Structure 1
Amino acid sequence: DPLPCHEELLKIGKLQQWRPGHTRKVVVVSHQWAGLTHPDPEFKQFSVLQHALMNLAGGKAQMQMDCISAINGFQLSMPSATDQLSCLEWDFWYDYFGCPQKCGTSPGKDTPDIQAVVNSIPAYCDIADFTLVLAPAIKHSDTHHTISQRTWSNRGWCRLERLATKLSGNDKSLVVVSAPTRLLVTAGPDWIKAWPDEGNFTLDADRDVVREVTGQLMDMKCQSLWEQGDKDKWRFYSALVPKARGFQGCQYGENLSEFLNRYQLDTPSCFCLGTALTPLILASIEGNLDVMTQLLEKQADVNQVITWNMPDAHIDGRHSALSMASMLSTPEAVTKLLNWGASMDLVKNMNNSSVLSIAGYFGNAPAMKVLLAHDARIDHCDDEGSNPLHVGAFSPNPWVTQILLDHGVNPDAFCYVGATALAMTSICNADPSHAERMLKAKADPNLAGSSEGCLHSMLSWGSKKKIAMGCASELEWNLAVANNGTPLHLAAINGSLEIAKLLLAYGANPDATWGDDQLTAKDLAQMRDHQDIVELFDKSPRKGSRCSMSLSSLDLDIGFMR
């Protein structure tokens, strides 16, 4: 067994205990177990980590920002180039090493030591310099399903580690390792889109445990912001507490004065300089219909717009109570605001997205249904030419895509960089159910992208030059291949194994070429070190012959909420 458990390592003195003043960088490794009784029985997952660290130390790989953070100009914390070269000197916390185990049995949460570890997850993530998500696409040794970054992000315990990282007292990012040369630094905005207690659990009883720890994390974050004197962010996180604790939208007959006192606010209208959350926005995020009604009856401006920027949550732009509720709250809250005259035309998030796109991006399918019932436009495009289907592909909830397709959105429309929504699912490494729904709606798996306008054509041309020079970033790879590349080409460069399987099942041509060198998807996968996709192409039928595979036969473990 190449990976001994905690008790064995403790017995032979191989573990180091962290103490205040620790001088080496500390990294928490978050991962999904690849076996029922062992985290990595075939050493497939851990070997990717070892090779990634050796490549990092040898200068053969560098950490890069994910595409969305890069294109929006977000500044993310990441280890310096010098720190990356010295990564073999870092200390790593890995659950099988760092947690008490019942060696040879499934990982339980019921012993006192293990329960103490569960309660300490926030402390581990707070102490660490960053959290490394180890998520290559491999087969689970017992279930034989593919596990990947997508399945990691659907696991409740993994979501808890992600949330603990984002709510840490120190500014830190997630580093996602999906291949030996692919280490992406991300803001991890899914912490606010997909809460831990909504994830998948082997034992459903763990859901309540995780919900309680989530609530504790939120309380700690609110306390920290209060002590820092950052009342605006304190109010925002306080408004999220009902969602975190599982009672968003519950009504307790709270009166307005109690609500205002709870948020340390003096006036119902809160007419401000446009940079502070109003009482109506806060009540809308909570889904507090009683207080919303009282505020509106006291003439609170339902269309007051503020500027609210939280890059780590991908909230950046002009927002009203309606846009915040469409992102983060209940359909009842959205309905109430619309019934009181809330406008869908005043708000703009990143790239001037519409309210419908905002709801889709945050996976709020129930809110989307309400907006569409009030005639929200499905053809509204943002500054990048993306319609709500493009934007919704970034959501952890595939029902967003289904709702839009049911309302007639065109799955083959291009955004300005040349990508269809189907291609976008690979760029953002989306849940493959997004792609499957588009393919069932007759999205063309062989439609080559076409960038629009001089600016985007120049960006694509410059990115191709960077690829030829061997120094292209993650964003530049995608900008280049989106222009004249097919969805399969984009799946190949992004390591989207499950989406590549679907595309082939629906007739994608593996022999289609991209670029002056006539590169196939397999060529691109080899260039990007995605050996799992190379192996897939080696096994696939040639010349785009249509397979009879279905989603169930592709060993995809799909889970989502309506």
Structure 2
Amino acid sequence: MSFPMYVVSVDVLLDMNDLKPHEDLMSSGLLTEYQECIGNAMFVSHQWLAFNHPDPNAEQLKVLQAALGNIRSRKSQIHIPVLTELYFGRLPTPTAEDFAGPSVFIWYDYFSCPQGMDGDAKFSRQQAIDSIVSYISRCKYFVVLCPALMHVDQQRVLGQHSWAERGWCRTERLARELAARQDGAAIVIESGVHQYLMIDARKYLDAPGAGHFTLESDRPRIARVLVQMVWKKLLCLLEQGDWHNYRFLLNTQSTCCFKGLDVMPLEGLIPGFSLHRDPFSDPAACVVEWFLHENGFRKVSERDRAGWTPLCYAAISGNAYLVASLLKCRASCNERITKKKPELVIKKNMPVLSLATHFHCNEIVKILLSAKANVHATDYHNSVALHWASHSNNVEAVRILCAAGSDRRLKMLPGTDAFSVAVGSGAEDVVEELLTHRPKVNLQYRLHHALIFFSVSTSIITTLLRADADVNERLRIETPTWRLMYGALSIQHRVSPSILTSLAYHHHLSTPLMLSVLNGCFGASRLLLQARADVTLRNSRGKTAADLAKQVQAPESIIALIEQCPSVSSEHILQDEDFVSI
């Protein structure tokens, strides 16, 4: 570290009335130079709410204080994201005890980095910025503080979606993922009572260099930091004998780490390479020899303990010539992985075509298709490459696959087509692309799908509303698989509630507005109210949107908006058949 890691204790944070800069806290004796022996640290990643001040009205501060206070007092708990619980069940989350007592410390840029404008302060601030990766590696908890709040100067609402677009925020996230420590958790805080684990496999695709930088001069600085991070992590994985994660990181450097930066992928970590082919007469074979050596493989057909072959890794590398060379050396274009990779929601039996599609390696997609790869090859959940393109918002791959004959009507488990996958993943570009296809996409329940499975961005809601999705449509699930699943979750809700079980319990006859409230999508709630959502409608449990907002302790501003919204239709009188007895 070039600059000491200064933190404030959680008790000091909770006593603050406004946001004070580093210098004021230092002179007041409220900053502590962090050492891991004194307790656990929490790194707070956030966007500034003004150009010259992180939080002019202390709005983010109040949310952070409320969230930590509520967690400590058990008034709220850290939830599991809906999709994570659906696919992997209940995972352990931090509890009140983890944040109790004075031995929890917070790193926050305005507190922890010098803010003065004199020469010494500027130099020290730059040293602190250059040390951020080290700070993150020392923190047990990584917190994304992203309540839906208005940027004072830009007059736009910021939230997790805008946080994820920023290059510095992406760098901080990647630093957390590449940190050597395996304990702790990454937590998203959206309000005083809405906190959940940050488990989103698509975030790995958000390369820092492809993000937005206020100062372009930060881009080369980020590049230097990332090279050091990746180099250290690769060496660490080799020392641990973790071949799969070494190979995975080695081959995703161009696609997920250095994309958008003037940086070449790191190589040459394994010594002792000797070439056995003539590079002039057989350059493809030489490329394959080097690749196999770098990845610790002996032959093209070898499969490692994680179920991946050399072509599986090459398919996510972005190196189209390498893939073509492997195919020349008799690798199969229909190769697939044989085991799942749950941390990235990569399914068992996922074909290399789907892998290349998911990681936006579109030149590789073209090469595999030209080699006669099966465009409808499925993984364990019946997903085809088009589903993965929709999931990762890869609109170019959608066009390539559709031109190759991929059927967008095919459904993956538990019954979702490509458009539903795109909507449920917030893949706005793919949604807009598929809306232009013929026959026309059916918009029934698409708003509901977006609000159940993707609560981060409001842009997908705007896109669907512009396409004339019904803002007051009421959910009636008829698909047997979905009905059975929601029925089981509704029963579970009575004894062990969660966000997922709450959505299932209240789903029948729910409007998009109701689901936005239940899932904490409060930015979407505002949009739906602006689109004249009917606040008088009730679901099959007899609840209105206002009832549900109070039940989940939504922000007072949202409750007020709902209660003040004029009625657009007469009160819906529930019929006996509207109720469900689960």
Asked if Structure 1 and Structure 2 have the same fold, meaning a TM-score greater than 0.5 normalized by the shorter chain, the answer is yes
Instruction: Return the offset for 1:363.
Output: 2.3
How is 1:181-200 mapped onto 2 (pairs within 5 angstroms)?
A: 181-200=193-212
The aligned residue for residue 437 of structure 1 is 463
Structure 1 distance, partners of 2:163, 2:379, is 31
Matching residue within 241, 254, 278 for 1:229: 241
Matching residue within 114, 133, 140 for 1:129: 140
Query: Secondary structure of the equivalent of 1:246?
Result: coil
Query: Secondary structure of the equivalent of 1:436?
Result: helix
1:222-280, Cα deviation, whole Å (9 max, x unpaired): 2221111011111111001122212799999972222222222221233x378432222
Instruction: Return the offset for 1:64.
Output: 1.4
The aligned residue for residue 475 of structure 2 is 449
- Does residue 207 in structure 1 map to residue 219 in structure 2? yes
Instruction: Return the offset for 1:522.
Output: 2.4
Structure 1 distance, partners of 2:407, 2:101, is 49
Query: Secondary structure of the equivalent of 1:174?
Result: strand
Structure 1 distance, partners of 2:347, 2:412, is 14
TM-score where L is the length of structure 1: 0.86
Structure 1 distance, partners of 2:301, 2:461, is 44
The aligned residue for residue 575 of structure 2 is none
| Counterpart residue type for residue 10 of structure 1 | M
1:279-323, Cα deviation, whole Å (9 max, x unpaired): 222222112122222211121111122224332222232122211
The aligned residue for residue 229 of structure 2 is 217
- Does residue 79 in structure 1 map to residue 79 in structure 2? no
Structure 2 distance, partners of 1:497, 1:211, is 35
Contact 2:424 2:452 in 1 (8 A): no
Query: Secondary structure of the equivalent of 2:347?
Result: strand
Contact 1:173 1:187 in 2 (8 A): no
How is 1:78-157 mapped onto 2 (pairs within 5 angstroms)?
A: 78-80=93-95, 82-84=97-99, 86=100, 89-102=103-116, 111-157=122-168
Matching residue within 333, 349, 373 for 1:302: 333
1:27-48, Cα deviation, whole Å (9 max, x unpaired): 1111111122221111111111
Query: Secondary structure of the equivalent of 2:196?
Result: strand
Q: Are the structure 2 counterparts of residues 89 and 421 from structure 1 closer, same or farther at C-alpha, using a change threshold of 3 Å?
A: same
Structure 1 distance, partners of 2:456, 2:410, is 22
Query: Secondary structure of the equivalent of 1:26?
Result: strand
What is the number of equivalent residue pairs in this alignment? 532
Q: Are the structure 2 counterparts of residues 165 and 401 from structure 1 closer, same or farther at C-alpha, using a change threshold of 3 Å?
A: same
Contact 1:53 1:88 in 2 (8 A): no
1:68-112, Cα deviation, whole Å (9 max, x unpaired): 11111167553245325x166421111111112237x9xx99943
Query: Secondary structure of the equivalent of 1:142?
Result: coil
Query: Secondary structure of the equivalent of 2:408?
Result: coil
Q: Are the structure 2 counterparts of residues 236 and 379 from structure 1 closer, same or farther at C-alpha, using a change threshold of 3 Å?
A: same
Structure 2 distance, partners of 1:131, 1:544, is 45
Structure 2 distance, partners of 1:219, 1:442, is 49
- Does residue 265 in structure 1 map to residue 289 in structure 2? no
Structure 2 distance, partners of 1:321, 1:255, is 19
Considering only CA atoms, is the larger Rg found in Structure 1 or Structure 2?
2
Contact 1:446 1:509 in 2 (8 A): yes
Structure 2 residues not aligned, in runs of 5+: 1-16, 266-282, 571-582
The aligned residue for residue 473 of structure 1 is 498
Structure 2 distance, partners of 1:384, 1:140, is 40
Q: Are the structure 2 counterparts of residues 146 and 75 from structure 1 closer, same or farther at C-alpha, using a change threshold of 3 Å?
A: same
Matching residue within 386, 397, 401 for 2:416: 386
TM-score where L is the length of structure 2: 0.84
| Counterpart residue type for residue 105 of structure 2 | D
- Does residue 509 in structure 1 map to residue 534 in structure 2? yes
How is 1:2-17 mapped onto 2 (pairs within 5 angstroms)?
A: 2-17=18-33
Instruction: Return the offset for 1:50.
Output: 1.0
Structure 2 distance, partners of 1:399, 1:110, is 43
Structure 1 distance, partners of 2:106, 2:112, is 9
| Counterpart residue type for residue 191 of structure 2 | A
Contact 1:132 1:177 in 2 (8 A): yes
Instruction: Return the offset for 1:458.
Output: 5.2
| Counterpart residue type for residue 522 of structure 2 | L
The aligned residue for residue 168 of structure 1 is 179
Q: Are the structure 2 counterparts of residues 222 and 394 from structure 1 closer, same or farther at C-alpha, using a change threshold of 3 Å?
A: farther
| Counterpart residue type for residue 190 of structure 1 | R
The aligned residue for residue 554 of structure 2 is 530
How is 1:239-318 mapped onto 2 (pairs within 5 angstroms)?
A: 239-243=251-255, 244-246=257-259, 255-270=287-302, 272=303, 275-318=306-349
- Does residue 44 in structure 1 map to residue 59 in structure 2? yes
Q: Are the structure 2 counterparts of residues 225 and 76 from structure 1 closer, same or farther at C-alpha, using a change threshold of 3 Å?
A: farther
Structure 1 distance, partners of 2:490, 2:189, is 24
| Counterpart residue type for residue 545 of structure 2 | A
Q: Are the structure 2 counterparts of residues 74 and 83 from structure 1 closer, same or farther at C-alpha, using a change threshold of 3 Å?
A: same
Q: Are the structure 2 counterparts of residues 273 and 165 from structure 1 closer, same or farther at C-alpha, using a change threshold of 3 Å?
A: closer
Query: Secondary structure of the equivalent of 2:315?
Result: helix
Structure 2 distance, partners of 1:88, 1:408, is 61
- Does residue 366 in structure 1 map to residue 396 in structure 2? yes
| Counterpart residue type for residue 242 of structure 2 | D
Structure 2 distance, partners of 1:213, 1:65, is 31
Q: Are the structure 2 counterparts of residues 226 and 4 from structure 1 closer, same or farther at C-alpha, using a change threshold of 3 Å?
A: same
Contact 2:334 2:373 in 1 (8 A): yes
Structure 2 distance, partners of 1:355, 1:148, is 30
Instruction: Return the offset for 1:465.
Output: 6.0
How big is the alpha-carbon RMSD for the aligned residues of Structure 1 and Structure 2?
A: 3.0
Structure 1 residues not aligned, in runs of 5+: 546-562
Instruction: Return the offset for 1:538.
Output: 4.2
| Counterpart residue type for residue 221 of structure 2 | V
Q: Are the structure 2 counterparts of residues 119 and 190 from structure 1 closer, same or farther at C-alpha, using a change threshold of 3 Å?
A: farther
- Does residue 520 in structure 1 map to residue 520 in structure 2? no
Q: Are the structure 2 counterparts of residues 111 and 312 from structure 1 closer, same or farther at C-alpha, using a change threshold of 3 Å?
A: farther
Instruction: Return the offset for 1:426.
Output: 5.3
Contact 1:34 1:140 in 2 (8 A): yes
Q: Are the structure 2 counterparts of residues 319 and 463 from structure 1 closer, same or farther at C-alpha, using a change threshold of 3 Å?
A: closer
Structure 1 distance, partners of 2:54, 2:199, is 26
Contact 2:194 2:520 in 1 (8 A): no
How is 1:472-491 mapped onto 2 (pairs within 5 angstroms)?
A: 472-491=497-516
Q: Are the structure 2 counterparts of residues 95 and 273 from structure 1 closer, same or farther at C-alpha, using a change threshold of 3 Å?
A: closer
Contact 1:30 1:133 in 2 (8 A): yes
Contact 1:379 1:409 in 2 (8 A): no
Structure 1 distance, partners of 2:229, 2:395, is 26
